[in-house]
Amino acid sequence: MKVIKTKIDGVLIIKPKIFGDERGFFLETFNAAKYAENGITESFVQDNHSYSAKGVLRGLHFQKQYPQGKLVSVTQGVVFDVAVDIRQNSPTYGQWEGIILTAEEHTQFYVPPGLAHGFCVMSDVASFHYKCTEYYHPEDEGCIRWDDPDIDIKWSVSKPTLSDKDANAGYLKDL
C-alpha cells in the first residue's frame, strides 16, 4: 500500500495494492500492523455503511467528548470526501482536505480523531464504508455547516440534499 500525507497532520490517503486478473481482484482493506507502521495506531471499534443518492451531502460531523477517527472508502459509486481540522491548537485549524473516492480505485481516506468529516455523492448512488475509533454517541455529536464561508470547501454541488440536522448546523466560529 502507498500512504500519502496531506497538509493536515494525521490525515492520510491510502492507496492499496490491488491484485487483479480476468477473474476479478483482491485487495487487503485493513491490516492493523501495516496501518500502525503508517501512524494509524488507534483501535477501530465500529464499522458503518451508508448508501446515498446523487447530490446527498452528509456532514460536517464530529463528536465533542468522544472524537472518532474514521477510515473511509467507497465500494459503489463516487464521493467527494472532506476532513476539516477543528482541533483548537492545531496550526491547520479551520483548513480542509478533500479527495474523490471511487469504487474502482479503492483508495481510503483516514480522518483522525478531532476533525469534522463529510462527503457528497457525485455518482447516481454510492455505498460508503467507514471504520471508527470510537462508538457513536448521538448526544455528543456536533455539526458544522457544509457551506461555512470561513472553511470555504469547494464541494461538487451547489444545492445538495441535506438532512434537517445538516441544513440547520452551526458555523465553525461558533464552536
User: Which residues have CB under 8 Å from 1's CB, separation 6+?
Assistant: 14, 15, 16, 17, 28, 34, 38
Number of continuous H segments (helices) and E segments (strands) in the chain: 2, 13
Three-state secondary structure call for residue 92 = coil
Rounded Cα gap, residues 117 and 87, in angstroms: 13
The single residue of 106, 110, 117, 130 carrying the catalytic annotation is 130
Is 130 an active-site residue? yes
- For 122, the grid coordinates are 457525485
Q: 157, 54 in Cβ contact below 8 A?
A: no
The yes-or-no answer on residue 61 being catalytic is yes
Q: Residue 33 has what DSSP assignment?
A: H
Q: Report in angstroms the alpha-carbon separations of 41 from 24, 27, 82, 112.
A: 31, 21, 21, 10
Distance (Å, rounded) from C-alpha 78 to C-alpha 136?
Answer: 25
Query: 121 forms bridges with which residues in the sheet?
Result: 79
The catalytic position among 35, 61, 110, 117 is: 61
List the catalytic residues.
Answer: 61, 130
